[in-house]
Amino acid sequence: MLQSILSGLEAGSWYSLLGLAIVVVMKAADVPNFAMAEIGLFATYIGATLAEEGVSFWVAVLVTLVAGVIAAVAIDIAVMRRLAGRGHFPLLLMTIGLSLALNALIGRIWGQQARRFDAPWSGSFLGIGGVDISWSQIVTIVLGLVGAIAITAFFRSSIGAQMRAVAEDRATARLMGVNVRRVSGIAWGIGGAIAAVAVMLQAQSTLVSTHSASSLIIYGFVAATMGGFVSLIGTFVGGLALGIIQALAGLYISTRIEFAVALLAVVLVLLARPSGFTAGLRLRDV
Amino acid sequence: MSEVTTRLDVEPADEPPIEEDPGTPAPSAPRNWTAVKLVGLLLAIVLLFALPFFVNTYVLFVANLTLVYAIATLGFNILVGWSGQIGLAHAALFAIGAYGSTIGVEYGVPFLATMPLVGIGAALIAVLIGFPAIRLTGFFLAIATLAFGFVIVETLTAANDLTGGGGGMIVEVWTLPGITSSASTYFLTAVVAVVAFLVARHALHGRFGRTLQAVRQLGTLVGSLGVSALRYRLFAFAISGAIAAVAGALYAQLQTFIFPAMFDLNLLVPFLVMVFVGGAGSLFGPIIGAAFAVVLVEVFQDLGDLQAIAYGLALMIAIAVLPGGLVSLGAELRNSRLVGRFGRQRSASKRLVRRGQ
């Protein structure tokens, strides 16, 4: 039970972080990015390959983060910012196309074989009160929390305010002297880095592959939905709740339907307390 | 393959430019234009039914698959394009049609009778999915309906005794006496496609389609006109679900073997592609979108990983270059400076004079 909740919190932290990456890009660049998990996977594979070649762990981590930032900013500059203001669903489809292409590209470079990115603490445990807790879980949960706090703090800074302004009204923000392109690039860079962290954390405790990326993105989107695509706190809590519900559904019902149960629970939450969960959620008037 | 392309080329040509933007009320078309349209439509239908007599099995399969997808996308487009609700349970409702009809046939129900049955059943399920989700909008509706879709597919996997679970089940193929099973499946699909298209055309260009658009654009404001927005939103769910299930039943006949993993995101994403690449909220969009998706997959079939890369890139290019979908291609070309200069660019007033307005 406790073990399930812990692993639920761990998985929930991945979902939260990926959801936060999606929300950051959504807030500042107004793009629902379905290719976020692939960006993270691409960066993680680069780091894992370096680590396998004997590069020291922390250098590999640094390279992974930089790769995530570069990949995301490159996508923004090459494709997405040219299509700004197209509306959410065309852009969503655009990123779905991007995720298909990136996923296949990653499969072509590294193959379909699942990989790990082991940290020095992977596989070691901390015994508290008769329960063994793996260090990967602790690191993931703590990093998830730190990441959420850091992003929230960032949005209160000057650039964060500019981002909110751009998301609110692109044209007016521009008139007020906000460099929209720079802001959008920064948001994509941050999103790419967070996505790289999310997939890296997943890879230090379990196997990741092009398949795991395509399911991870759904969880990330669900977490972002729980936060109404605007609330960082809502996204973070939503992702953690998703992870715990999923773990408990896997424990008490069946691991095969844990995904469906988790999604249904989300729907029930959305229906039962639409405005209570986060302020960003809007009801349609009927 | 060329026959397929010709056939598909005929249809967009029938389309009058006035249909490209469903948001604006269409001016009444002059009589001779209607006659041209009618002849074109009849020609397309004749070509459609003559196809099995002069192509090989592979081309017939591709054409059949295109038609099945076109029917399913027609239903999806009513929900997504015309009523503006992003409901993502479509692939699961398609699966209900495929499984419902296959299981029905196993229990002795004649195949032709299973099609309306799965249609009604899926319409009821679609309303159940739509009813709680109808209070939500945008991404929330998308996630909620996606969840229900996953539950349906997982239920199909779990119902081992009835569906064969994840291993799938063999479909008993319905065959007309005297012709091959693939030709009979094709004829049946073609009949359903023509009926579905004509009914949708009649309904969407009439009161129903205009009300759906009004609901999409005005929301509950249509209540002041005496129209229940809720009822029309649920109508859209029911109709799109019914069409999805009928298409699913035909899909099972075509594939002859079905398993739950066929109906997850791997199918939902292509459905979305077909609607938006073809042109959301247009009548011919689904047909063009389905042809685009099927031909793309078949052309790049031998390339392995490159197939997915090409598919993704084609989707991106189509959306970046043609925001209105492929149905808007003609108008985009006419309006573009490069082609317009060499082509028969006329001033707007002359064009209106020619149309007799």
Domain extent for A161: 2-277
Q: For the ranges A86-90, B12-16, B319-323, B325-329, which has the lowest average pLDDT?
A: B12-16
Assess if residue A283 is contained within a domain.
Answer: no
* Rounded (5°) CA angle B234-B245-B326: 80
Cross-chain Cβ contact B147/A263 below 8 Å: yes
Of B135, B229, B316, the CB nearest to A283: B135
Residues in A touching B301 (Cβ below 8 Å): none
- Number of folded domains in chain A? 1
Cross-chain Cβ contact B316/A97 below 8 Å: yes
Hunting for tokens 């490069």 — which residue is that?
B338
Positive/negative CA dihedral, B13, B18, B22, B23: positive
Chain B residue at shortest CA distance from A99: B312
- Residues B95, B149: Cα–Cα separation, whole Å: 10
Buried residues in A28-44 as b, exposed as e (16+ CB within 10 A): bbbbbbbbbbbbbbbbb
Of A89, A259, A281, the CB nearest to B140: A281
- A30, A96, A112: best to mutate for the B interface, most B CBs within 10 A: A96
Across residues B248-275, what is the average pLDDT?
A: 88
Assess if residue A99 is contained within a domain.
Answer: yes
Chain B residue at shortest CA distance from A35: B312
- Residues A267, A270: Cα–Cα separation, whole Å: 5
CB proximity A257 to B under 8 Å: yes
3-state secondary structure of A87: coil
| Whole-number pLDDT of residue B14 | 40
Collect all residues with Cβ–Cβ distance below 8 Å to A141 and sequence separation of at least 6: A6, A9, A10, A13
| Whole-number pLDDT of residue A285 | 40
Residues in B touching A259 (Cβ below 8 Å): 150, 154
| Whole-number pLDDT of residue A3 | 81
Residues in A touching B89 (Cβ below 8 Å): none
- Residues B12, B200: Cα–Cα separation, whole Å: 16
CB proximity B125 to A under 8 Å: no
Across residues B133-159, what is the average pLDDT?
A: 80
- What does the pLDDT look like over B221-230, one tens digit per residue? 887 888 888 8
Most confidently modeled range among B23-37, B107-121, B157-171, B221-235: B107-121
Q: Residue B154's Cα: distance from chain center in Å?
A: 24
CB proximity B265 to A under 8 Å: yes
Cross-chain Cβ contact B140/A270 below 8 Å: yes
Positive/negative CA dihedral, B137, B151, A241, A42: negative
Alpha-carbon distances, residue A145 vs A17, A94, A138 (angstroms)? 9, 31, 11
CB B10 within 8 A of CB B44: yes
Of A79, A97, A271, the CB nearest to B132: A271
Give the residue among B115, B101, B120, B262 at the shortest CA–CA distance from B191.
B115
CATH pick for B56-354 out of 3.40.50, 1.10.150, 2.60.40, 1.10.3470: 1.10.3470
pLDDT of B344 above 80: no
- Residues B336, B331: Cα–Cα separation, whole Å: 8
Residues in A touching B312 (Cβ below 8 Å): 97-104
Mean pLDDT of chain B: 80
Chain A residue at shortest CA distance from B264: A215
Assess if residue A285 is contained within a domain.
Answer: no
Residues in B touching A256 (Cβ below 8 Å): 154, 157-158
| Whole-number pLDDT of residue B13 | 38
Q: Which long-range contacts (CB under 8 A, 24 or more apart) does B52-55 make?
A: B52/B179, B52/B183, B52/B186, B52/B187, B54/B3, B55/B3, B55/B4
Assess if residue A282 is contained within a domain.
Answer: no
CB proximity B320 to A under 8 Å: yes
3-state secondary structure string across B103-137: HHHHCCCCHHHHHHHHHHHHHHHHHHHHHHHCCCC
Enumerate residues 138 to 157 of chain A having a beta carbon within 8 A of any beta carbon in chain B: none
Q: How confident is the model at residue B336 (pLDDT cuts 50, 70, 90)?
A: low
| Distance (Å) from the alpha carbon of A97 to chain B's nearest alpha carbon | 4
- What does the pLDDT look like over B7-21, one tens digit per residue? 333 334 343 444 444
pLDDT of B236 above 50: yes
State phi, psi for B264 to the nearest 5 degrees. Answer: -90, -145
Assess if residue A40 is contained within a domain.
Answer: yes
Q: In which residue ranges of chain A is pLDDT below 70?
A: 272-286
